[in-house]
Structure 1
Amino acid sequence: MAQQIVLPKLGLTMQEGVIGEWVASSGQHIALGDTLLRLETDKVDVDVEAEGEGILATVAQTGEVLPVGALIGWLLAEGESTPEGAAPAAAEETVVETAAPVAQVVGGPDDGSRIKSSPNARRVAAAANVDLSAVRGSGPGGRIVSEDVEEFVAAAPAAVPAPASTVSGEVAGQFVGPIVRRRAAELGVDLSHITGTGVGGRITKSDVEKAAGSSSAPAAAKPSSTPALVAGPQPGDVIPLTGMRGAIARNMVDSLQTMAQLTHGYEADVTALVAVREQLKAEAAQSGSKAPSLNDFIVKAAAMALREHPLLNAGITDDKIVLFEEINVGVAVAVENGLVVPVVRGADELSVSGIGSATAALATAARTGKLALADMEGATFSVSTLGAYGVDFFTPVINPGNVAILGVGRVKDGFRWEGETPVKTQVLTLSLTFDHRAVDGAPAAEYLRTLRGVLARPLSLLAG
Structure 2
Amino acid sequence: MSTEVKVPTLGESVTEATIGEWLKQPGEPVAMDEPIASLETDKVAVEVPSPVAGVMGQQVVAVGETVNVGAVIATIEAGDGKATAPTPAPAAKEAAAPTPAAPTAPAPVEDSGDGVTTLSPAVRRLVLEHGVDPTRIKGSGKDGRLTKEDVLAAANAAPEAAPVPAAAPAPTPAANGAPGRREERVKMTRMRQTIAKRLKSAQETAAMLTTFNDVDMSAVIATRDKYRESFEKKHGVRLGFMSFFTKAVALAAHDIPSVNGRIDGDEIVYYDYLDVSIAVSAPNGLVVPIVRNAESLSFAGIEKAIADLGKRAKEGTLTMDDMTGGTFTISNGGVFGGLMSTPIINPPQSAVLGLHRIEDRPVVRDGEIVIRPMMYLALSYDHRLVDGREAVTFLKTIKEAIEDPTRLLIDL
Shared fold per TM-score greater than 0.5: yes
Q: What does residue 40 of structure 1 align with?
A: 40
Q: What does residue 347 of structure 1 align with?
A: 294
SS in 2 for 1:360: helix
Equivalent residues, number: 357
Q: What does residue 93 of structure 2 align with?
A: none
Q: What does residue 188 of structure 1 align with?
A: 133
Shift of the alpha carbon at 1:289? 6.2
Equivalent residues in 2 for 1:198-237 (5 A)?
Answer: 204=144, 220=159, 223-224=161-162, 236-237=183-184
Mapped pair 1:272 → 2:219: yes
Distance change >3 Å, CA 32–CA 331, structure 1 → 2 = same
- Preserved contact between residue 8 and residue 68 of structure 1 (Cα < 8 Å): yes
Shift of the alpha carbon at 1:350? 1.0
Distance, in Å, in 2 between the alignment partners of 1:326 and 1:432 is 20
SS in 2 for 1:405: strand
Q: What does residue 10 of structure 1 align with?
A: 10
- Preserved contact between residue 232 and residue 239 of structure 2 (Cα < 8 Å): no
Q: What does residue 404 of structure 1 align with?
A: 351
Distance, in Å, in 1 between the alignment partners of 2:350 and 2:401 is 21
Distance, in Å, in 2 between the alignment partners of 1:21 and 1:391 is 33
SS in 2 for 1:322: strand
Give the letter aligned to residue 386 of structure 2: V
Shift of the alpha carbon at 1:329? 0.5
Distance change >3 Å, CA 357–CA 34, structure 1 → 2 = closer
Distance change >3 Å, CA 331–CA 287, structure 1 → 2 = closer
Distance, in Å, in 1 between the alignment partners of 2:383 and 2:235 is 47
- Preserved contact between residue 241 and residue 249 of structure 1 (Cα < 8 Å): no
Give the letter aligned to residue 72 of structure 1: I
Identity within the alignment, %: 32
Shift of the alpha carbon at 1:325? 3.3
Q: What does residue 168 of structure 2 align with?
A: none
Please tell me the root mean square deviation across aligned C-alpha atoms, in Å: 4.3
SS in 2 for 1:42: coil
Q: What does residue 64 of structure 1 align with?
A: 65
The correspondence for 1:303, drawn from 250, 269, 282, is 250
User: What are structure 2's unaligned runs of at least 5 residues?
Assistant: 80-108, 166-180
Distance, in Å, in 2 between the alignment partners of 1:31 and 1:450 is 55
Distance change >3 Å, CA 225–CA 181, structure 1 → 2 = closer
- Preserved contact between residue 21 and residue 120 of structure 2 (Cα < 8 Å): no
Give the letter aligned to residue 336 of structure 1: P
Distance change >3 Å, CA 285–CA 249, structure 1 → 2 = closer
Distance change >3 Å, CA 33–CA 182, structure 1 → 2 = farther
Give the letter aligned to residue 60 of structure 1: V
Distance, in Å, in 1 between the alignment partners of 2:161 and 2:204 is 52
User: What are structure 1's unaligned runs of at least 5 residues?
Assistant: 79-167, 197-201, 228-233
- Preserved contact between residue 340 and residue 356 of structure 2 (Cα < 8 Å): yes
CA deviations 1:442-462 (Å, max 9, x no partner) are 221121122222223213435
Give the letter aligned to residue 190 of structure 2: G
Give the letter aligned to residue 260 of structure 1: A
When the two structures are superposed, what TM-score results if normalisation uses the length of structure 1?
0.64
Q: What does residue 262 of structure 1 align with?
A: 209
Equivalent residues in 2 for 1:352-363 (5 A)?
Answer: 352-363=299-310
CA deviations 1:5-31 (Å, max 9, x no partner) are 432223335332111233445687765
Distance change >3 Å, CA 31–CA 282, structure 1 → 2 = closer
